[in-house]
Structures are given as structure tokens and as C-alpha cells.
Amino acid sequence: MGIKPKFRRCPIFIDCATKRVTNCMLQITVSFFRIWQSAIRPLKTVHLLALFSLMTGNLAYAGANQIKNVIPIQKPDLILFYDGNVMSMEGPYGRPSIEEVLPVSTSTLAELLASEARVSVEREISLTLNKNETLADLLKRANFTSSELYQVADVASQKINVRKLGIGKNFVIGFDNNDTPIAVKTNQSDKFDYFIFKNNYGSWQGLQAIRPIDREFVHGAGIIDGTLYEAALEANVPLSTLDNFMRVMGFSVDFQRQLRQGDAFEVVYEKTTDRTTDKTLSVGKVHYVGMVLSGKKVGYYRHENNDGTIGWYDQAGKSAVRTLMRTPVNGARLSSSYGMRKHPISGYNKLHKGVDFSVPTGTPILAAGSGQIEIAGWKGNYGRYIRIRHNNTYQTAYAHMSGIAKGVYAGAQVEQGQVIGYVGSTGRSTGPHLHYEILVNRRQVNPMTINLPTGKNLLETERGRFQGVVNKLNTYIQNNESTNYVGVTLN
């Protein structure tokens, strides 16, 4: 029977292990001391009690293994246990509008530069750019020195293309009390003026200013005793406004057959005026059109949809737009209707498969609807001819044109109301007129009697904003001193 040997640990091994344990304990102690100094020691008693209760609460939950589906308590953020006040923070401000940054332009140099640059202008003159004259040439006429010419031109080129200044462009020159030129003002665009001036440090600098533009509604209305054109002129309605009026109402009204003496019209359009010069900048943007035809009221409001498209709707939200326009030319007189007639050239009775509108040569012809050009060119007795396919059902044709508009060719896409050509008398024709056809499934029909489908009606999501437009315009019409015919009766 052998003797089992006894092993003894080496003293050196024991010392090493003890040393490692000691070092580890020392590191733990140092770490705990650091935590005590940085986090626990500064805490108040009430905070320590709260931390202790949370810890004991978590231990109690950890020991309750028999409890199922317990929602864990969120670990507290240590920052909440420090002294201090809870503060809210606001996000960055939005980008300021241009109106908040730039000053408003004035009618004189002196007024703006006195308030914005503390520069005193004693005298002003107005100079106009002549033919074959540069900006430097104009400034020489105002006695600018050679060095100042290039300094002013350099500052001006930052906002204006000085190489493409138009003949007749106006510049206002300002002088100090020594009659030395120290400032220049010119029109940068429809929205901005540009001021160039010599500052108090002797260098030239530029300053943009917003032109003060006033926008207002203008109401025009009248009784039609002769023609709509005459009634509009009597009511001082601009021709551009009348053109827009007829384009919108042309979808629903046959101006040749439906107008009667005693009918009424009204239109609300926008007028923009430059406050510094009292000059009218633009008119014609129409916001409301209305008519009374044999006692029947028709009215449409302009509305910009959320997707940026412009629609015309009555108060019920029904669109004014039809698939096709009945009269694709403005100011026309219906000279020949659809149906059997004696041909003016051959003398034989023949079916006239369209309608003729008598208008002067060169009058623009509009696309009756959006679609693709199928034919654009010469077509026998039709002369210069265009045919447009709008969808699988509808086509329109236009004949005897004097010319075809630029960019209109077979395969091109056109939009409703776009100019596609000009009235003429080409082909077999006795005088300037437009021959117009509507084809349904490739067969000509009467453009004046066909029941055309409407465009897209107002979406329900747009109803609230649209009603705000209606209320605003109706309030304006009711408060206007002019006679009201349609708007106030649509409520």
C-alpha cells in the first residue's frame, strides 16, 4: 500500500496571490472613493433617502420571482439629484423674412440714406441712360472722378448686370453740400431698389431696399346694353382683366348666343401700385368673375390649391373648367354655325362640320384643352391646320390659320388656354376667320351644343381655405360702393 504524497503551496505563490487580491481591493476602494467625492457626497440627505428607497424598491422587485409581467422602473438620471433649477430650452429661431432684414425704399435718396446710413444728401438729379452709353458714361455726366467711376460700377455689378443696362434706365444721383456726387439710386427689379453711396469712412457700398408695393382689390361691374366689350370699357375694366374674365367664363357661357340686353357682369381683380411713385404696376389678376344671364346667376372664385394649382369654383365647389373650351378665340363673332349650309365658294349645299368665328387676322388662337398635337401644318382646303388629341374620346381641330405658334408641332404637348396659332384665311376661305371642330370618337359634333364634362371639383380637404376666400371676396363686394349684381346674391 503506497503512501499518498502531500503537496504544500509554495509560500511564494501565496504571497503573489495575496498581493493581487490586495491590489484589486485597493482599486475598488479608490474607485468607490472617487464616486463618493463626485456623485454621492454632494447629495443632500433627502436625495440619499430617495436613492436608497429606489434601490431597495428595485431589490424587492428583483426578489419577487413569482410575480410576472412587472413593468421595470426606469433608472433615474443622476443629474436630477444635483442642486439647481429645471430650465426649458427653445429651439433655433426660423430664418427671418426679407422684409425683416431690408429697409423699405423711399422716393428720394436723401430720405433713405439719412435714416439708414447717416449720409446727408443735399441735391438730387435724375439721369437716363442713352443709346450706346455705359454706366461709366452716365456717371461722367454727373462729374464722378475716374477712380469713383470704377468703384461705383464695381458695387453696382454686385446686384445689377451693368453690361446689359437697357436704354432709358433711370439713375438718381445725390450730391453733398459741396456739390460732390456721393450717392446713386436705381431700380434693381420690380421688388427692389439699389442704393450706392459713399459712407462716412470714404468707401463706396451698396444697400438693397424693398419697393413698397400696395395690392388692392378693384371691383368692376356693369349692365350689358350692347356688347360685353363695350360694357367693360364703360366700367373701366382693363383689357387684360377682360381677357382673363372671358377665359374663365368661356367654359360656361357662349358669348355669341347667350348674351342678352340687360344681362350683367362683374369682376374683382387685383391692382398693384408702387407707393413711392403712385404708379400702377400691374392689373389683370382676376379673383372673382360673375354674370347674370337672363336672370340666371353664374359666379366663380379663384382658389390656389395645396398642390399649387389654380382652380375656379362656384360656392358649392364645382369647377368652372370644362374638358374643352367652346370658343377658343377671344372677341369673336360666330359667322357660320354647324349644320347644312350653302358653301360660299362652291355654291353647293354641304354639311358644315364645325363653326366659324370671324375675327381679325393675327388674333391668337387658344388650345381648347390640354393634349398632344397630332397634326400641325398644311392640310388641303383647310390651309394651315392643327388637330389636338385630348384623350381617347375628344379631339379638336383649327383651320385657315395665318401661322402656327412657336413650339407647336406634331407630338408636342399643349396646355388648355395656350396660344397655338393665329387667325388667317389660308386654304379654301373667303376671309379671315377660325374654323373650329370638336370630334367625339373621331366624328365631328356641334361645338355649341355638346354637353362637355367638367374639370376636377374642389377637394373636401380644401373646403375650409376656399370658404375663407369666398367670405373675403363677398365682404369686399358688399362693402364696395359700386353697384353689385352677382356676388351679393350668391350668399
Decide if 301 contacts 468 (C-beta within 8 A): no
pLDDT for 286-302, tens place per residue? 999 999 988 888 889 99
What is the predicted pLDDT for the residue at 326?
80
pLDDT for 32-42, tens place per residue? 556 555 555 55
pLDDT for 247-284, tens place per residue? 788 777 777 667 888 899 999 998 888 888 788 878 76
What is the predicted pLDDT for the residue at 420?
95
Beta bridge partners of 154: none
Give the cell for residue 436. Answer: 373650329
What is the predicted pLDDT for the residue at 491?
35
Burial status of residue 354 (CB atoms within 10 A of its CB: 0-12, 13-18, 19 or more): buried
Residue 441 has pLDDT above 50, yes or no: yes
350 vs 65, 342, 346, 438, 450, CA distance in Å? 101, 6, 10, 18, 21
Decide if 235 contacts 220 (C-beta within 8 A): yes
Residue 337 has pLDDT above 80, yes or no: no
Nearest CA to 386 among 437, 333, 322, 334?
A: 437
| CA dihedral angle for residue 368, residue 371, residue 372, residue 376, rounded to 10 degrees | 0
For 103-153, the DSSP string reads PBP-SSHHHHHHHHT-----EEEEEEPPTT--HHHHHHHTT--HHHHHHHH
Residue 229 has pLDDT above 70, yes or no: yes
pLDDT for 210-220, tens place per residue? 988 888 888 88
Annotate 450-464 with b (16+ C-beta within 10 A) or e (fewer): eebeebeebeeebee
Give the cell for residue 158. Answer: 454686385
> In which residue are the cell numbers 440619499 written?
48
Kindly give, in sequence order, each residue whose CB lies less than 8 Å from that of residue 120, ignoring residues fewer than 6 positions away.
110, 113, 114, 176, 177
* pLDDT higher at 185 or 342: 185
239 vs 166, 234, 250, 264, 280, CA distance in Å? 27, 12, 16, 18, 15
Nearest CA to 414 among 357, 457, 375, 363?
A: 375
Nearest CA to 409 among 388, 438, 379, 383?
A: 388
pLDDT for 40-71, tens place per residue? 555 445 455 555 555 555 544 445 454 455 56
Cα gap 186→171, rounded to integer Å: 5
Residue 353 has pLDDT above 50, yes or no: yes
Strands 181-187 and 192-198, bridge-based pairing: antiparallel
| CA dihedral angle for residue 129, residue 131, residue 136, residue 141, rounded to 10 degrees | -60
Residue 478 has pLDDT above 80, yes or no: no
pLDDT for 384-409, tens place per residue? 999 999 888 889 999 999 999 999 99
Nearest CA to 215 among 151, 298, 275?
A: 275
Q: Which domains can be identified in the chain, with CATH numbers?
A: 101-210 (3.10.450.350), 214-321+459-489 (3.10.450.350), 333-445 (2.70.70.10)
pLDDT band at 425 (very low <50, low <70, confident <90, very high): very high
Average pLDDT of the chain, as a whole number = 80
| 220 secondary structure, DSSP code | E
For 452-465, the DSSP string reads PPB-PPPPGGGHHH
What is the predicted pLDDT for the residue at 365?
92
H helix or E strand, kind and range, residue 22: helix 11-35
Q: How many residues does the chain have?
A: 491
Q: What are phi and psi of 470, to 5 degrees?
A: -60, -50
Decide if 125 contacts 172 (C-beta within 8 A): yes
